[in-house]
Every structure is written in C-alpha cells, then in structure tokens.
Amino acid sequence: MERMIREIRRNLVNEEFFISEIADNLGINELTNTKCFNPGAGLIPNGFRETINH
C-alpha cells in the first residue's frame, strides 16, 4: 500500500495527468475516494496537489 501511495504522489506532483488518468493508470476506480491515499497522505488528491504546487 505504501508503494501505491508513493506512486500516486509522484504522479500528482507531475501535473501532466488528470487525477482520473492517474487512477486509471494505477487500476483504481476513483482516486478521490480511495482508502489507500487518504490515510497515508492525510489529504484528498486535489488537496495534496495544491499544497505541492503552490
């Protein structure tokens, strides 16, 4: 699970992909509701992306 979180974060930092594309590429139905992201990061994907890129 930690590896998945690292991969999600890596993709979110790179703004080349929409969040839905990241989810599709990683085989997750909907990244915004995934339990594997929120416990490890403490944020939803959009929130994580905003804190990194501002």
**What is the CATH number for 47?**
1.10.10
Q: pTM to 2 decimals?
A: 0.64
What are the pLDDT digits (tens) for 16-30? 888 888 888 888 876
Q: What is the pLDDT of residue 53?
A: 66
If one compares 52 and 42, the residue with the highest pLDDT of the two is: 52
Six-digit token string for 47: 């929130």
Instruction: Give CA separation, 51 vs 17, 19, 26, 32, 54, in Å.
Output: 17, 15, 22, 16, 6
Domain span at residue 34 reads 2-52
- Give the residue from 27, 8, 7, 4 showing the smallest Cα distance to 19: 8
Q: What is the pLDDT of residue 5?
A: 79
Number of H helices, E strands in the chain: 4, 0
What domain count does the chain have?
1
